[in-house]
Amino acid sequence: MERFGQLLDELEERGGLPREKWLYLLAHPEKPFRELAAEKARTLTLARFREGVYVRGLVEFSNCCANDCFYCGIRRSNPKLERYRLDEEEMLECCEKGYRYGFRTFVFQSGEDPLWGCERLCGLVRRVRERFPDCAVTLSVGELAEEEYKRLYEAGADRYLLRHESADPEHYAMIHPPRQKLATRMACLEALKRIGFQTGCGFMVGTPGQELKHIACDMEFMSRFRPHMIGIGPFIPHRDTPFGKEKCGSGELTLLLLSLCRIMQPEVLLPATTALGTLLPDGREQGVLAGANVIMPDISPAEVRKLYSLYDNKAACDPGTAGILHSDLAKKLEAIGRHVVIGRGDFGERSC
């Protein structure tokens, strides 16, 4: 326990650790260790963000995808999935509703849908920014050319989420088909940051073949890259994928990783993910208590929510119809001494 605590201090001071020290931390996800990390992470979160938790309205606008990631239910080779695609009017409708509920960030996420090209997305971003000038727009639509990212930024998109999925080339190749390259993913992340996006990377915990050395590699990458946002959730199998019979990732290790991310980078925007909320009944609250400060409820139309099936039994996080401040989520956060913040919640914002 003493060495574990010393390494947490070193992580905080240096913003990173050498490989063997990461491996030591990652090998201790058990409760007493995890709690020590969570306590430190909580202190840092409260110092930076007080009791505020940022919320983002997630619009999953297309489950059509040209990619074929082995873990993901919306991969192109899943013939069982009914595909859908929202149009601009439907998405603006989601935002109208979301705005009334209290959301001031909209996250537009989809598969890599060829019919939603850069031009069309730019048009959407412009309309949303015009209609909701006090809201931030986050995109999460996969790998594009740097020129396209630039156009989206110029159209008014503020943030971009693109999980790196695995920073280790061999592990990356175990969970993706050969034509999806880690180098391309990394080049996209570099480009996004260069352009000026608040940029998010991240990975799943417990994907098949993942070892602690791979997670250490992810942490080393993030310590160098210094993303503005980090998305981490447990792997959860989807029955109609090559990994359908594999087991779920560890919730405990996921929670420890959230704490380590917070300690490594106290200002980072760190969501308690839907996957964590799916794996553990009170996963989102546990995530917040481990250092997360963002929650991303789904504001997509109810009819399509089930079709955006990245993994089995995806938890609902419905903001309800009474507004986010009166939602179940708000009550659950209040029960752990936190509250929802109405605002954009940009990286670098200090107080709530």
Residues at the contact surface with ligand 5AD, assessed by CB under 6 A: 71-72, 163, 165, 204, 233, 235-236, 238, 275, 310-311
Name every residue whose Cβ is closer than 8 Å to that of residue 49 and which is 6 or more positions away in sequence.
Answer: 293, 351, 352
In the complex, minimum distance from the CB of residue 162 to ligand 5AD, in angstroms, rounded to a whole number: 8
d(CA 241, CA 233): 18
d(CA 6, CA 162): 32
Q: If you search the block for the tokens 């009170």, which residue do you land on?
A: 282
**Which residue number, 101 or 235, has a Cβ lying nearer to ligand 5AD?**
235
Pairing of strands 136-140, 105-110: parallel
**Which residue number, 71 or 221, has a Cβ lying nearer to ligand 5AD?**
71
Do 16 and 48 form a contact (C-beta atoms < 8 A)? no
**Which residue number, 187 or 322, has a Cβ lying nearer to ligand 5AD?**
187
Do 151 and 122 form a contact (C-beta atoms < 8 A)? yes
In the complex, minimum distance from the CB of residue 242 to ligand 5AD, in angstroms, rounded to a whole number: 11
In the complex, minimum distance from the CB of residue 279 to ligand 5AD, in angstroms, rounded to a whole number: 9
- Pseudo-torsion of CA 126, 131, 133, 136, nearest 10°? -60
Name every residue whose Cβ is closer than 8 Å to that of residue 5 and which is 6 or more positions away in sequence.
Answer: 36
**Which residue number, 71 or 160, has a Cβ lying nearer to ligand 5AD?**
71
In the complex, minimum distance from the CB of residue 250 to ligand 5AD, in angstroms, rounded to a whole number: 13
**Which residue number, 16 or 142, has a Cβ lying nearer to ligand 5AD?**
142
In the complex, minimum distance from the CB of residue 11 to ligand 5AD, in angstroms, rounded to a whole number: 24
